[in-house]
Amino acid sequence: MFSGEIPMQIGDLKCLQNLDLSYNNFSGAFPMSLNSLGDLSKFNISYNPYISGVIPSTGQLATFEKWSFLGDPLLRLPPFISNATNETQQGENVRGKNARGIGTFLVVFALILAFIVCGLMTLIVCLLVKSPIDSPGYLFESSKNHAEFASSSGSSSPWLSNKIKVIRLDKTAFTHSDILKATRSFSDDRIIGRGGSGTVYRGVLPDGREVAVKKLQTEGIEGEREFKAEMEVLSRSGFGWPHPNLVTLYGWCLNGSEKLLVYEYMEGGSMEDLITDRISFNWRRRLEVAIDVARALVFLHHECFPSIVHRDVKASNVLLDKNGKARVTDFGLARVVDAGGSHVSTMVAGTVGYVAPEYGQTWQATTKGTCIATGCWQWSWPLGDGLWTEGKNV
């Protein structure tokens, strides 16, 4: 460690480039001869507390920052050296804060992104592995259990396949065994209606829902066609796209050639049963039913894509729920057609008296023909019975 005055002769070393006098005990006046060292690029005289004097505002010493003069309280520096040093320090502090802020943001963003990715992966896994009981879809049941149930319940119906397919459109599961228990193995005392395509049974599922189970009797190609048509229409409008004026389908069951439809039970009965009751089923109520049926047809004809032609709108195919709202049912003869188009049949389908004249001639079912059938059915209301009744000429 050096002490005493700094030799003025150092200023004669014109080629001197580096001069470090820091951390010594130099005292006395600062030699102004050092300001003439034009090649000096590095200079440090910091932490010499006893040296005094004034650093000139011009010359080589004025090019160095305050860091070269730290710890020298007796030295007086030019103002611009002090200000430049403060600005530099502030700039470095700001850059340091910005760097720390960006680093913190990146860490937080990475954590949030990781949580989102983990959440999405968890959701995907849950959707892929969740039980069929929790979601609509297919449910396969072994035929062994159903054969044992049928045998114990006295039913002799053979099971024609190794697997029974139950397709559910809502989130509440039911099995083929539940259908058998609800209908008492399709006991006659559970029958609530018969039609050309099958028999309808009333039952209660384990969750308490009252259902109407339609057991299709038509076999062969025509039976397959009717079943496919009803599935296509009801699955679209029942739960995939609910409508208050169409029957709600809960699902269906395939067991060999046996085909079952399970849909909501309508407590109010059918229009066919109520049309003769002119007291309780007055004209105000009939107008409300007509509006409900019209809304159902608007949905089928204009809000479904492609459009759906019912082809058999009549009193027995209009049911009332517990609130008296009319719902159209029995889509066994329905067909899907393109917008503004028609469906060509190989035979006339529908009920005599409700078929549009042009359909009987051209065999082309259209949405307009369904409207004609609806009008014919409503035209029979003043008679109090069907449009075509033996002994009557309308």
Catalytic residue among 72, 178, 292, 312: 312
Q: Which two tokens stand for residue 29?
A: 């006046």
Q: Which two tokens stand for residue 290?
A: 């007509």
Q: Is residue 14 marked as binding?
A: no
CA nearest neighbour of 235 among 206, 261, 216, 217: 261
C-alpha 201/C-alpha 182 separation (Å) is 9
337: left (phi over 0), alpha (psi -120 to 50) or beta: beta
Q: Which two tokens stand for residue 76?
A: 């007086």
C-alpha 319/C-alpha 263 separation (Å) is 12
C-alpha 101/C-alpha 94 separation (Å) is 10
What single-letter amino acid sits at 227? F
The H-or-E segment that residue 90 falls in is helix 79-129
What DSSP line would sit under 172-233, residue for residue? S---HHHHHHHHTTT-GGGEEEE-SSEEEEEEE-TTS-EEEEEEE---HHHHHHHHHHHHHH
CA nearest neighbour of 294 among 359, 378, 384: 378
Is 312 one of the annotated active-site residues of the chain?
yes
What secondary structure, in 3-state letters, does 126-185 show? HHHHCCHHHCCEEEEEEHHHHHHHHHHCCCCCCCCCCEEEEEECCCCCCCHHHHHHHHCC
Q: Give me the helix-helix angle, 176-183 and 143-152, nearest 10°.
A: 10
Annotated binding site: 215
Active site (catalytic) residues? 312
Annotated binding site for ATP: 215
